[in-house]
Every structure is written in structure tokens, then in C-alpha cells.
């Protein structure tokens, strides 16, 4: 009985949060509602005795990912009024409606059509794994360092490589200092308007810099 | 403190590790780390040694692959998640050698173009590490990590010409489509895991093929997994990223993507189909059939109208992916010949396509262009390159006695041997498409040999030594594979089913 009550409460939290994400006018509010949804999902994990997943849900999703969202929203200018009446890519709302309805229909069919719920009855191996008296955190730890040790170690290499690549791609170019007039940031950030105005004051500098860079990049490309 | 912790985990047993089986991956990883360290310690002074160290690393990785092949025993680790058998070793060797040729064709391009050199080779090695891991992966999680390890460096390499908008577009398109495909793939994998309760492909197959008709969740899982890999191998209708990415990326990276990355996608697909889904042929065979037929036809028809040679090779690569998919559509009827046909095609395709891109890079050193019209009269000032390009193009078209002919012959053999309606229909598709493809390959040949040079400039193309050796290697291999087809035929007589006891 108590499980049902907890389920209903967390389901309400999740659904209200999900509606809030879609319906909020302010993107910051959307992001905050997303945290509410993710916290509700963490509660659902808790009643299924998946303590590790619940903790990871809070730390990774509610903590790291939504903060990243907020960071991007702030960076793009939260006070910029968005005209919601204009559809920049024609037909995408209708398309979203169709795709959303299809996914909903697909989910209902999949869950309804199958025997024993969507996944069928749990195989014997899964039952055994749950029955050795360890907490789920211990079990995940054991599996991670035995059966999946290789994948775990390779993931470490993968993350290092991703960091190296990201640093290379975002760092400015070494030898030439021609980057300044190529940086498109000034067009996208209204807060940097003085820099943009500066560009307009000296069109000739900007032009020559641009064309020079184009020639050299053309050279790069084919050499 | 530590003793108390150790007592608590007292019954933990370290999983047995076969160091010999993991030696290729560990060697390559060590050289990748060495390359990064060299960059940190030596800074600019390390620049000129980077390609040399990368080549040495790749060749050193061949050593454990050869010792494992001589040893000949099938090895399996982590309960069957990591398997070293003949098929895995062949594919590892293909990835390493393709990577070596990519390093050869990159070294001048990258050092002359003011790029980040050490990181370029570091990322290249890590992408190849993902590929050789993929050849051994027989478990959903290992396959996914291998896929990410090979894709993430490739996204960055595609945008390596940072100041060029086209390169940025190439990288961004590749990245967005790639992560989209990864998400679909992961969703499919999670459905399959939910349905079977295991990540091991062998157990997965046992679980999902137990019933006569598949459950809805298994059908969705299989479809999503195949769609995810169809993006990777650029099969129609999931090919839209390929032409733009190929055109915008630095040409050596394009060569790498069109050969090694595509082969890795096929290896993953073959692992999934032949080990994980083989009992569910009623689900995957119609889907692979449709992908194969549409890919070859659409790829070839769009290639006819291209004016840029890199875009043409991109669409021809889409069509070639269709040929390689064809035997997989009859995988359950003739598993051994289907696998051998696709592996042979991958080996030979790698050689001839890398060769074609090497010529494109060499010619662009003079003309600074990849337009097909700028190949007019190439014979008058670069006869060697013209002969090489002609060999590669006719090999890609499948003209005997060049390598591509034997590859197509194996494909036809496998689909006809299956003796099913879908097999024969695919055979007809392959035959008709080969004729269409011959037109656009031969058109370039005619322009190179018969026309006059557009501006009458007949100064010869200077080809640097490393590019020259890449050309010699690929030309020799293309001819040898065609003249002595037994060579690749013997090597690729492999069976996935035998090797994966788990």
C-alpha cells in the first residue's frame, strides 16, 4: 500500500515537472521543472530498491546536466525575448506532433501487446543475480570490476581522448592571430554589441582579414 | 583501515586476464599515451616525430596480432565479452594496415597545412583502438564503448580544418547525426537487454530466438540497433551526412572515414547479426534486404551527377555499402559464405578506396581542387598517377583482373548460393548497379586519358615519398588481390559461429 502512495506522489511530481518543461515561457523555469522531473524519477528508482541509480540520477542528471543546460541558457542571453509565433523551420511543429503521437502509440502498443509486460518474464539468470544477499551498490561494483572490467577501463581512455579533442577544437589557433575577425561570437551575443559596432567602423580591416584567411584556409585544404 | 576494507571484500576474485589476447589493444593504447606525452614534454620539437611514432605504433601492434594468428587458438575473456578468433584477427589487421596507409597519406598534408599534428595522430590512433576493440567485442556494452571510442575522435578529426566553414559543417553534421544514431542504437540495446536480461550476444541470441514469433520489444530492439549501425556504414536512407562530411573534412580524414570507419560499422553489424540475432532472421533479413537494395541503387544514381570527385567517391561508398550489405540479407541461409563474402569485400574495398583517395590528395597538391573537370588531361603531366587512378577506379567498378572483381564475385556467389528469392533479387540488383557504376568511374578515366589539360599547364605533380609509398602499396595490393584471389579467399574463410563459444 505504501508503495502505491509513494508511486502516485512521485508520478505526480514527474508529470507536473514534464508539463512545466514544455509549457513554461521562460527557459530557466523549464530547466528548473526538468530538475523536478528528474528528482521524481529518482524517487521511482528508490521504491524499486535501485539505490545506486537513484543517487546517480540526482548527481548526474539533476546536478551536472541541468546545470549545463542553465549555463547554456545564460550564455545565450536569458533576457532575450523569443518570438514564439514565428516558426523558423516550416512545419516542424506539425511534425513534432505527429512524431510525438506515433511514439506514444508505439509505446502503448508495445506495452499492451506483449505478455508479461513489455519485456516478458524475467529470465532465470536475472533472478539469480538478485538473490545473493548483496546490496545493489555492491553488486554493481563487483560486476564493474569483473565482467565489465575491460569496458570500464576503455571508458577511461575514451573520456581522456574526448577531453584532449575538445581542448584542441576550442583553443585558438597558434601561429596566426587572425582569429579575432573570424570569430562569429560577436554576431550571436547581443551583449557584445560594442565589438560588433567596432567591426562596422572599420570595414576594410575586417574585409582584408577575412579574405586573407580564406585564401590560407583554401591553401590548407588542398595542400 | 585498508586491512578492514580488504577483509570486507575478501571474497573478491580478480577476473582472469589473458594478456596475450589483449596485447594488440594494450600496445596501441601505450603508443597513444606515448604520443600525447611526447607532445606535453617536447612541445613543438615533437611535431616532426609524430607521424613516425604513429606508424611505429601501428606496426608494433601488428606484432601481437601476428603472434596470435600463428598461435591460432580462439581466446575468450570476461565470460565471452571479448573474443579473439580468426575473424577478429583479420579485421584487426585490416584496421591497422588501413590506419598505417592513412598515416602515410596524412603526414605531408597535415604538416604543410598548419594543423595540430600530435593530437591528430593521437586521435587517429585512439579511433583505430576503438576499431580493433570492436573486432573482438561480443557483448552489447563492449560494442557500444568500442563504437564511441572510434566515433568521438572521428568527429573531431572531421573538423580539423578549424578555420574553414565547410570543415566545421562537416564535423558538426557528422557529430549530430552520429550521436543521434548512437542514441537510437543504445535505445535498441536497452530494449534487447530488457527482453533477454543479458548483454552477452551469445546468450542474447539464445533468449530472443527461443520463441517462434518475436515479441514486439525484440523487433523494436533489433530494428533500432540496425538503424544505428546503418548510420555508421552510411546506408540509404541514413547516408545524408556522408557527402557533406567527406567533402568538408581534410581529405586524409575522409579516406579514413570512408574506409576504416565504415569497415568498423560493418564489423559491429556482423557481430550483432551473426552472433546476437542469427536466430531471428525473420526480423533482420527483410530490413537488411531493403537497406542493401536501396543503398546500391540510390548511391549509384546520385553518384552519376556529381562534379566533385570526393562527393562522387562518397556516393560510390554508399553504393559499395549496399553491395557489402547484400550477403548479410541471406546470413541465415549461408552464414559462412555470407560472412566470408562481406569480409573479403571489406579487405579489398579498403585497399582500393584508400588508393583512390591517395591519388585525389596527390593531384590536389598541384590543382588545389577536387573538381572532376580538373582531372582533364592528367595523363599528359602525371602519367603515373593516371595509371594508378585508373586501376583504382576500374577495381571499384569490378573489372577483372583487379581486386574489386573478385570481391564482387564473392558477393554474387553468396547471394546466389542462398538460392532464395531475396538472394536472387539482390544478385540482379548488384549486377545492374555494377553497370551503372561503371559509367561514372569510366567517365573520369576518359577525362584523364583523352582530354587536354584545361590551362595547358604541364608541370608535373610532385608526390612526396610517404604518399608515393602509400600509392605503391595500394596499387600492388589491388592487383595482387585480383590476380591471386586465393590469397584473400583463404584468409577470409572464417566462421563467427564456431569461434564464439563464450
User: What digits encode the pLDDT tens for the residues A20-66?
Assistant: 998 988 888 899 999 999 999 999 998 888 888 899 999 998 888 99
Lowest mean pLDDT across A151-165, A205-219, B407-421, B448-462: A205-219
> Is residue B2 included in any domain, yes or no?
no
> Is residue A75 included in any domain, yes or no?
yes
pLDDT, residue A196, reads 39
Share of residues in chain B with pLDDT > 70 (%): 94
> Is residue A157 included in any domain, yes or no?
yes
Does the CB of B13 have a partner CB in chain A at under 8 Å? yes
B197·A106 Cβ contact <8 A = no
> Is residue A50 included in any domain, yes or no?
yes
pLDDT tens for each residue of B402-432? 888 888 988 998 998 888 888 899 999 999 9
For the residues of A169-194, what is the DSSP string, one character each? HHSPPSS----GGG-THHHH-GGGHH
Percent of residues in chain B assigned helix, strand, coil, to nearest 5: 80, 0, 20
Does the CB of B113 have a partner CB in chain A at under 8 Å? yes
Of A126, A179, A218, the CB nearest to B197: A126
Residue ranges making up the domain that contains B487: 18-499
Residues of A with CB below 8 A from B153's CB? 161, 165
The 3-state DSSP class for residue B220 equals helix
Using a cut of 0.90, tell me whether the model's pTM lies above it: no
Share of residues in chain B with pLDDT > 90 (%): 47
- The separation between the first and the last C-alpha atoms of chain A, rounded to the nearest angstrom, is 72
Per-residue pLDDT at A208 exceeds 60 = no
Per-residue pLDDT at A190 exceeds 60 = no
Q: Among residues A81, A98, A120, which one ends one of the domains?
A: A81
Residues of A with CB below 8 A from B116's CB? 168
Residue ranges making up the domain that contains A31: 1-81
pLDDT, residue A131, reads 57
A168·B116 Cβ contact <8 A = yes
pLDDT, residue B212, reads 78
pLDDT tens for each residue of B156-193? 999 888 878 888 899 999 999 999 999 999 999 998 98
pLDDT tens for each residue of A169-183? 887 655 444 444 444
Q: Among residues A62, A81, A100, which one ends one of the domains?
A: A81
Which uninterrupted H or E stretch holds B406? helix B403-418
Q: What is the mean pLDDT of residues A106-116?
A: 73
CATH of the domain at A34: 1.20.120.1200
Residues of B with CB below 8 A from A169's CB? 156, 159, 162
pLDDT tens for each residue of A1-27? 788 899 999 999 999 999 999 898 888
Nearest CA in chain A to B123: A161
Cβ atoms within 10 A of the Cβ of B168, count?
17
Which regions of B385-497 does DSSP assign to beta strands (E)? none
Give yes or no: residues A1 and A77 share one domain.
yes
> Is residue A38 included in any domain, yes or no?
yes
> Is residue B295 included in any domain, yes or no?
yes
Nearest CA in chain B to A146: B15
Q: In total, how many domains does chain A have?
A: 2
Q: In total, how many domains does chain B have?
A: 1
pLDDT, residue B141, reads 92
Lowest mean pLDDT across B275-279, B335-339, B380-384, B454-458: B454-458
> Is residue A92 included in any domain, yes or no?
no
Q: Among residues A32, A49, A81, which one ends one of the domains?
A: A81
- Beta carbons within 8 Å of B148's beta carbon, 6+ residues apart: A158, B130, B182
> Is residue B319 included in any domain, yes or no?
yes
> Is residue A74 included in any domain, yes or no?
yes
Mutate to test the interface with B, among A118, A132, A137, A151 (most CBs of B within 10 A): A151
Using 50, 70 and 90 to split pLDDT, how confident is the model at B500? Answer: very low
Lowest mean pLDDT across B69-78, B193-202, B485-494: B485-494
Q: What is the mean pLDDT of residues B257-276?
A: 92
CA-nearest of B94, B240, B251 to B176 is B240
Residues of A with CB below 8 A from B198's CB? 123, 125
B149·A157 Cβ contact <8 A = yes
More confident residue, A120 or B392: B392
3-state secondary structure A48-105: CCCHHHHHHHHHHHHHHHHHHHHHHHHHHCCCCCCCCCCCCCCCHHHHHHHHHHHHHH
- The separation between the first and the last C-alpha atoms of chain B, rounded to the nearest angstrom, is 39
Mean pLDDT of chain A: 72
More confident residue, B496 or B304: B304
Per-residue pLDDT at A197 exceeds 60 = no
Q: What is the mean pLDDT of residues A89-110?
A: 85
Angle B319-B323-B329 (CA atoms, 0-180°, nearest 5)? 130
pLDDT, residue A166, reads 86
Amino acid at each position: 500500500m505504501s508503495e502505491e502512495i509513494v508511486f502516485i506522489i512521485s508520478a505526480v511530481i514527474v508529470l507536473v515537472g514534464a508539463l512545466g518543461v514544455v509549457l513554461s515561457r521562460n527557459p530557466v523555469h523549464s530547466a528548473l521543472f526538468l530538475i523536478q522531473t528528474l528528482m521524481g524519477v529518482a524517487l521511482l528508482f528508490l521504491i524499486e530498491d535501485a539505490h545506486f541509480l537513484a543517487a546517480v540520477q540526482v548527481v548526474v542528471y539533476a546536478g551536472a546536466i541541468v546545470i549545463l543546460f542553465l549555463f547554456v541558457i545564460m550564455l545565450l542571453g536569458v533576457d532575450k525575448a523569443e518570438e514564439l509565433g514565428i516558426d523558423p523551420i516550416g512545419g516542424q511543429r506539425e511534425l513534432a506532433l505527429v512524431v510525438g503521437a506515433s511514439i506514444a502509440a508505439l509505446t502503448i502498443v508495445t506495452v499492451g501487446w506483449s505478455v508479461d509486460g513489455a519485456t516478458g518474464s524475467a529470465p532465470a539468470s536475472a533472478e539469480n543475480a538478485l538473490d545473493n544477499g548483496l546490496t545493489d551498490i555492491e553488486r554493481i561494483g563487483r560486476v564493474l570490476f569483473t565482467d565489465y572490467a575491460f569496458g570500464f577501463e576503455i571508458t577511461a581512455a575514451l573520456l581522456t581522448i574526448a577531453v584532449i579533442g575538445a581542448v584542441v577544437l576550442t583553443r585558438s589557433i597558434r601561429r596566426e592571430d587572425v582569429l579575432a575577425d573570424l570569430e562569429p561570437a560577436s554576431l550571436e551575443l547581443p551583449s557584445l554589441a560594442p565589438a560588433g559596432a567596432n567591426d562596422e567602423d572599420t570595414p576594410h580591416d575586417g574585409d582584408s582579414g577575412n579574405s586573407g584567411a580564406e585564401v590560407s584556409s583554401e591553401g590548407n585544404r588542398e595542400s | 583501515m585498508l586491512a578492514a576494507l580488504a577483509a570486507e571484500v575478501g571474497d573478491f576474485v580478480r577476473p582472469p586476464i589473458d594478456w596475450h589476447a589483449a596485447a594488440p589493444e594494450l600496445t596501441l593504447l601505450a603508443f597513444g599515451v606515448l604520443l600525447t606525452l611526447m607532445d606535453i614534454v617536447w612541445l613543438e620539437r615533437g611535431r616532426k616525430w609524430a607521424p613516425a611514432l604513429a606508424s611505429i605504433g601501428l606496426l608494433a601492434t601488428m606484432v601481437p596480432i601476428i603472434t596470435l594468428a600463428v598461435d591460432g587458438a580462439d581466446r575468450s575473456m570476461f565470460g565471452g565479452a571479448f573474443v579473439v578468433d580468426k575473424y577478429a584477427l583479420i579485421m584487426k589487421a585490416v584496421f591497422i594496415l588501413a590506419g598505417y596507409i592513412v598515416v602515410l597519406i596524412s603526414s605531408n598534408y597535415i604538416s604543410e597545412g598548419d594543423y595540430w599534428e600530435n593530437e591528430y595522430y593521437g586521435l587517429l590512433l585512439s579511433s583505430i583502438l576503438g576499431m580493433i576493440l570492436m573486432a573482438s567485442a561480443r557483448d552489447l556494452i563492449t560494442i557500444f564503448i568500442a563504437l564511441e571510442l572510434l566515433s568521438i575522435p572521428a568527429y573531431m578529426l572531421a573538423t580539423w580544418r578549424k578555420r574553414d566553414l565547410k570543415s566545421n559543417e562537416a564535423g558538426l553534421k557528422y557529430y549530430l547525426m552520429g550521436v543521434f544514431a548512437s542514441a537510437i542504437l543504445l535505445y535498441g540495446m536497452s530494449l534487447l537487454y530488457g527482453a533477454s536480461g543479458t548483454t552477452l550476444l551469445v546468450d542474447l541470441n539464445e533468449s530472443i530466438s527461443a520463441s517462434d514469433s518475436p515479441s514486439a520489444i525484440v523487433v523494436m530492439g533489433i530494428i533500432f540497433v540496425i538503424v544505428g549501425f546503418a548510420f555508421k556504414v552510411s546506408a540509404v536512407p541514413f547516408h545524408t551526412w556522408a557527402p557533406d562530411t567527406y567533402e568538408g573534412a581534410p581529405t586524409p580524414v575522409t579516406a579514413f572515414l570512408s574506409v576504416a570507419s565504415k569497415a568498423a560499422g560493418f564489423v559491429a553489424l556482423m557481430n550483432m547479426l551473426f552472433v546476437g540475432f542469427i536466430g531471428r532472421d525473420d526480423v533482420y533479413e527483410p530490413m537488411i534486404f531493403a537497406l542493401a537494395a536501396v543503398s546500391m541503387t540510390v548511391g549509384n544514381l546520385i553518384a552519376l551527377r556529381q562534379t566533385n570527385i570526393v562527393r562522387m567517391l562518397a556516393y560510390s561508398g554508399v553504393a559499395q555499402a549496399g553491395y557489402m550489405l547484400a550477403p548479410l540479407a541471406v546470413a541465415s541461409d549461408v552464414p559462412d559464405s555470407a560472412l566470408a563474402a562481406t569480409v573479403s569485400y571489406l579487405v579489398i574495398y579498403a585497399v582500393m578506396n584508400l588508393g583512390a583517395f591517395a591519388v585525389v590528395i596527390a593531384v590536389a597538391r598541384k590543382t588545389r581542387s577536387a573538381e572532376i573537370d580538373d582531372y582533364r588531361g592528367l595523363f599528359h603531366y602525371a602519367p603515373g598517377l593516371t595509371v594508378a587512378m585508373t586501376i583504382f577506379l576500374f577495381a571499384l567498378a569490378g573489372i577483372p583482373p583487379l581486386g574489386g572483381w573478385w570481391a564482387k564475385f564473392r558477393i554474387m556467389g553468396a547471394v546466389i548460393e542462398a538460392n532464395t528469392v531475396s538472394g536472387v533479387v539482390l544478385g540482379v540488383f548488384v549486377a545492374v548497379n555494377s553497370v551503372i557504376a561503371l559509367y561514372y568511374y569510366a567517365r573520369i578515366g576518359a577525362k584523364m586519358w583523352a582530354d587536354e589539360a584545361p590551362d595547358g599547364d604541364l608541370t608535373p605533380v610532385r608526390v612526396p615519398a610517404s604518399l608515393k609509398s602509400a600509392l605503391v602499396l595500394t596499387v600492388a595490393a589491388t592487383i595482387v588481390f585480383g590476380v591471386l584471389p586465393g590469397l584473400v579467399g583463404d584468409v577470409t574463410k572464417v566462421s563467427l559461429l564456431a569461434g564464439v563459444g563464450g
